Amino acid sequence: MKDAPQSFADRYAEAGFVAPIDILDAADARALRDDYEAAETELEGDAERLGLLKSYPDRLLPSFDAIIRHPALIAAASEALGPDLMVWSGALFIKEPQSEKIVSWHQDLTYWGLDDAEETTLWLALSHASEQSGCMSFVPGSHKQRIVPHRDTFDARNLLSRGQEIAVEVRDDEAVAAPLRAGQASMHHGHLFHASGPNRTDDRRIGAAIRFIKPAMRQQNGAKSLVTLVAGRDDYGHFTLADRPRGRLHPEDFALCREDAARRHEILFEGVTQA
């Protein structure tokens, strides 16, 4: 007798990830990318605001605020976390054409200063993420371990802020690549081992890493990071709830993002002497 297909929640619980998940059609994914790239053009030469745009597209562009509330993303995140959901971050990971930038093997929750593991990432591809362009790879089942030791490399090739990598051996033959078409997403657990390679194509590889958490989570140092309540209720008040963006690239939204970035920088680099 053939086994019944596993449910989404069972696949996620067992492997620590699910991919691919259809979210947007090609035209809508393209429109979202175009909106982001138009904003990049508008901010050309302004490295500080470009950096904030990459870290907070959902706070600075109404199109990205709408995306983090997309019913298909909410449905997927709810499978892992239930009905009450906040977005803790919606930052973009971009690899330019023919870029050597990589992401080393890591577990997301290592340095975010959160007190629990009630978190999942929906990584939404805004361009094709193939093995050639540096899609993510996951080690199935590795989320069942708690956080393993990491070391900081501060390698300039690494897209991660501390160049952090897992200090124990990760065998490449244990890893599974998760290619995505533009508009598809993968979902992964905050303890899952994952990494990605360089971009050997002539197009940018762009993905929005949308981090959903349960409202009961908190920053261990008591900081009230800026988050967006995207489904259900917040009965805890552990975070600062963001309103929708005031407009497109609005100065007051930049000010809020700037303040939050300083708060998060402190959390991320706590105890680090070399930055």
Q: Note the residues at the interface with ligand AKG (CB under 6 A).
A: 93, 103, 108, 121, 123, 136, 194, 196, 207, 209
State the minimum distance, in angstroms, from the CB of residue 235 to ligand AKG. Answer: 28
State the minimum distance, in angstroms, from the CB of residue 191 to ligand AKG. Answer: 11
* Nearer to ligand AKG (CB atom), residue 186 or residue 219: 186
* Nearer to ligand AKG (CB atom), residue 182 or residue 253: 182
Cα-to-chain-centroid distance, residue 75: 17
State the minimum distance, in angstroms, from the CB of residue 201 to ligand AKG. Answer: 14
* Nearer to ligand AKG (CB atom), residue 93 or residue 254: 93
Distance CA(154)–CA(78), nearest Å, equals 35
| Cα 146 to Cα 129, 188, 232, distances in angstroms | 28, 15, 28
Both tokens of 200, joined, read 């050997």
Residue 199 DSSP SS3? strand
b/e 197-232 (16+ beta carbons within 10 angstroms → b) = bbbbbeebbbbbbbbbbbbebbbeeebebbbbbbbb
* Nearer to ligand AKG (CB atom), residue 190 or residue 254: 190
Q: In 3D, which of 21, 17, 64 has the Cα closest to residue 185? A: 21
Q: How many CB atoms lie within 10 A of CB 261?
A: 17
State the minimum distance, in angstroms, from the CB of residue 99 to ligand AKG. Answer: 11
Q: In 3D, which of 213, 210, 185 has the Cα closest to residue 119? A: 213
> Rounded to the nearest 5°, which phi and psi values hold at 259?
-60, -45
* Nearer to ligand AKG (CB atom), residue 163 or residue 207: 207
Query: Distance between the two ends of the chain, CA-based, in angstroms?
Result: 57
* Nearer to ligand AKG (CB atom), residue 92 or residue 226: 92
State the minimum distance, in angstroms, from the CB of residue 210 to ligand AKG. Answer: 9
State the minimum distance, in angstroms, from the CB of residue 91 to ligand AKG. Answer: 8
